[in-house]
Amino acid sequence: MRINLPENKSEITLGKYQRYVKLLERDLDVYSFNRRKLEIFTDLSFQDTAKVTQVDFEFCLNQIDKALNEEVCFVSRFELAGIEFGFIPNINDITSEEMKHIEALDNLSIGEFVDSSNNSNSLDSLHKLLAVLFRPITNKDSFGNYEIAEYNGTNKYSELMKQVPLNVSDGALFFFINLSIELQNYIQKSMMEEQKKVTQQATTLKNGVGMLQ
């Protein structure tokens, strides 16, 4: 019996991983769980998983775990269904409409999404988040610079994003989370500095300094 096993995360789709996370929530005995796990990550049907020898069974499970635990790097561009997608060139260029859509995913704020990045509820929406962060590339040059399509909701590409390799989605999520934290810290710092200026101005006016004659 020939079994196709993933060697790394690039051979596992986000959709399969979402199915696996749902499997983790089910109350199954170990043997049934592992059969379902083989079904998700190989080309075997659930019925055929019962025909796998014990030695091969253990080998397959170990290889799947090895692939799932692989460390990944950020991938800014990839091709899927004949379309080249690119990550938002500048995270600071995200519009208020896009940010509102991101925060609306499962009613999670970015902070909550970070805190629950291993939670199935947030992973259920990860393909929608990818449809915000990755857009079709509309223009590019020989230096690696590119432009992406304007944001027009996630309906068109969110389901397609379930076919994104797991190394792409993991890398993008890690990159986005870190940039979001930096952006939040910058916004918080700016607000504190602005509040400090307002307080100083109020103190100055109270002391009668700089008042209009």
More confident residue, 205 or 12: 12
Res 112 pLDDT > 60: no
Helix (H, G, I), strand (E, B) or coil at 131: helix
Structural domain count of the chain: 2
Give a yes or no: residue 212 inside a domain.
no
> Do 98 and 41 fall into the same domain?
no
> Do 137 and 112 fall into the same domain?
yes
Res 174 pLDDT > 60: yes
Give a yes or no: residue 202 inside a domain.
no
> Do 120 and 183 fall into the same domain?
yes
More confident residue, 120 or 45: 45
Indicate the pairing of strand 146-148 with strand 134-140: antiparallel
Does residue 83 come out as left (phi exceeding 0), alpha (psi in the -120 to 50 range) or beta?
A: beta
Res 193 pLDDT > 80: no
What pLDDT does residue 191 have? 63
Position 108 confidence tier, pLDDT thresholds 50, 70, 90:
very low
Sheet holding 77-80, edge to edge: 77-80, 83-87, 134-140, 146-148
Give a yes or no: residue 115 inside a domain.
yes
Res 171 pLDDT > 50: yes
Q: What are phi and psi of 86, to 5 degrees?
A: -130, 145
Give a yes or no: residue 139 inside a domain.
yes
What pLDDT does residue 109 have? 43
Choose the weakest-confidence range: 107-111, 153-157, 202-206. 107-111
> Do 35 and 118 fall into the same domain?
no
> Do 88 and 107 fall into the same domain?
yes
Res 6 pLDDT > 80: yes
> Do 155 and 132 fall into the same domain?
yes
> Do 126 and 103 fall into the same domain?
yes
Give the end of a domain, one of 46, 68, 90: 68
Give a yes or no: residue 125 inside a domain.
yes
Give a yes or no: residue 128 inside a domain.
yes
Res 136 pLDDT > 50: yes
What pLDDT does residue 131 have? 86
> Do 130 and 39 fall into the same domain?
no
> Do 60 and 82 fall into the same domain?
no
Give a yes or no: residue 90 inside a domain.
yes
**What residues make up the domain containing 127?**
77-193
What pLDDT does residue 201 have? 61
> Do 186 and 144 fall into the same domain?
yes
Res 212 pLDDT > 50: no
Nearest CA to 35 out of 15, 16, 52, 59 is that of 52
Res 118 pLDDT > 80: no
In tens, the pLDDT along 79-100 reads 999 999 998 876 555 555 555 5
Res 2 pLDDT > 80: yes
> Residues 146, 151, 152, 155: what is their CA dihedral angle, to the nearest 10 degrees?
90
